[in-house]
Amino acid sequence: MTVGKLFGTDGVRGVAGRDLDARLATSVAAAAAVVLGKVHAADEAASKRAGRPRAVVGRDPRASGEFLEAAVVAGLAGSGVDVLRLGVVPTPAVAYLTGLLDADLGVMLSASHNPAPDNGIKFFASAGLKLADEVEDDIEAQLAQHAGRQQEVPSGGFGRVADSTSEPERYLEHLLSTVGVFVDDALWRDEAALRARPGLPLAGMRVVVDCAHGASYRLAPRLLRAAGAEVIAIGVEPDGLNINAGCGSTSLGALRSAVLAHAADAGVAYDGDADRCLAVDAGGEVVDGDQILAVLALALKESGRLAANTVVATVMANLGFRQAMQRAGIEVVETPVGDRYLIAAMLDGKFLLGGEQSGHLIMLDHASTGDGMLTSLHLLATVAARGRPLSELAAVMTRYPQVLINVRGVDKQRVAASAADGELAAMVSQAETELASSGRVLVRPSGTEPAVRVMVEAIEETQAQRIADWLAGVVRRVGGAD
């Protein structure tokens, strides 16, 4: 991984020990410390923050996260940043606690939904928001400028490192407060009393939760039980190597089987760092991110809390979602794929709800980034409040067949050039003419994987598959695949 091409759509990511090793992790953290130190110095001059800059660091349970965490902490503390280690926590917990603790920087070590050999470094600014593009550029420039140089002793002294104690519970308390549930320290120590309180929003519900052997394995079952649900937890035995393996939001078979076996009202699944959530209804049918977004959008509209009567979605959103929103009189703002683009559009328009088909939903009045646990809590609370099964609520939209092909081993730049003004552009235009208003075509490079994604949506799955296969062949040809 070369300097200048470090940051993708979601931080720095690659195969741990090869693309992302301890040296790079230390260097990136040190470069980030310099950049945030300038911001901190400006804030200190304005009497907003005193003393050394502060950072919070969390990770998912990947084995590589242990040495990468040590490397990041070394880079930060060695550059004069005080560090609070949160341990294994979800990405949105890092984002929330960065803001709550008035830290200058949050760092999460995770490759999200990717398999165990991968890992990544995600950064959050002081408000718990993803870094702006220009800040990432500054970090890369700093990294290039100081490559190979001896690190200097920071003028304010080396940073100190501490481990968190009650911070994860503060994150859970925040999530619960968004559905009117309030917990104190004594209740956390008495689970029977915690669940016996009257008026809990999930009281009477039986829910299966699949934590993907990931970052939510401790916290998510506690969250849903504290909200009143009877919880059957799976994917809660991480060994450092089994994250996302045949479980979680990227592999819903285990959740579907558990929901049916336990006669549960619903099931929810997160990815490895729990910034995504997908669901399964009582009959074992999958409820994807578009359907969850539709359910929550309608609930907010009915309660008069849908800001500007608008929801934000990406170009990957299903045609059925757009039609459902149109029928409900809800405006849809469309963005490129990636939560940073969703958040930018939401902040710009002061919108409160946005999300992706993958289950990455953002509720901006409660969180600064996608939060799978928050999403599941509000989805299940909506089901309970309506007194109707999840399958009924999800049926508000028809899910049109979508075929997605990840074309690997191609030159992304050659593909992009052909898509702009070349053979691929002509073939996409031909496909769009065939589909007319009954479908869509989307060809784009992945921001998190070495692949070009070809998505075709149509009323008939056979037509979508045929066109997708054909366009994937064009991508391979123009991209120089072997």
- Give me the tens of pLDDT residue by residue for the chain, a chain 482 residues long: 444 468 876 788 899 999 999 999 999 999 999 887 766 555 555 445 568 899 999 999 999 999 999 999 999 999 999 999 999 999 999 999 999 999 999 999 999 999 999 999 999 998 898 888 888 889 988 888 877 666 777 888 899 999 998 899 999 999 999 999 998 877 787 878 887 888 999 999 999 999 999 999 999 999 999 999 999 999 999 999 999 999 999 999 999 999 999 999 999 999 999 999 999 999 999 999 999 999 999 999 999 999 999 999 998 899 899 999 999 999 999 998 888 889 999 999 999 999 999 999 999 999 999 999 999 999 999 999 999 999 999 999 999 998 999 999 999 989 999 999 899 999 999 999 999 878 889 998 887 678 999 999 998 999 999 999 999 999 999 998 75
Identical fold at 7-165 and 169-394?
Answer: yes
Q: How far is CA 132 from the centre of its chain?
A: 17
State the pLDDT at residue 133.
81
From the list 112, 249, 358, 376, the catalytic residue is 112
- The pTM for the full model equals 0.89
Nearest CA-CA partner of 373 in 100, 121, 90, 166? 90
Cβ neighbours of 480 (radius 10 Å): 11
Q: Which CATH class is domain 402-478?
A: alpha beta
Cβ neighbours of 166 (radius 10 Å): 10
* Domain regions of the chain by residue span: 7-165, 169-394, 402-478
Alpha helices by DSSP H, 278-338: 289-302, 319-328
What sign results for the dihedral spanned by CA atoms 248, 254, 255, 258? negative
State the pLDDT at residue 42.
54
- Give the burial string for 294-321 (b: 16+ CB within 10 Å, else e): bbbbbbbbeeeebeeebbbbbebbbbbb
| 112 catalytically annotated | yes
State the pLDDT at residue 185.
77
State the pLDDT at residue 280.
98
Quick one: angle between helices 133-145 and 22-45, nearest 10? Answer: 120
Q: Which residue has the tokens 């949160």?
A: 86
Eight-state DSSP code of residue 146: T
Q: In this structure, which CATH number among 2.60.120.10, 3.20.190.10, 3.30.499.10, 3.40.120.10 belongs to the domain 169-394?
A: 3.40.120.10
Rounded Cα–Cα distance for residues 171 and 274 (Å): 13
Q: Which fold has domain 7-165?
A: Alpha-D-Glucose-1,6-Bisphosphate; Chain A, domain 3 (3.40.120)
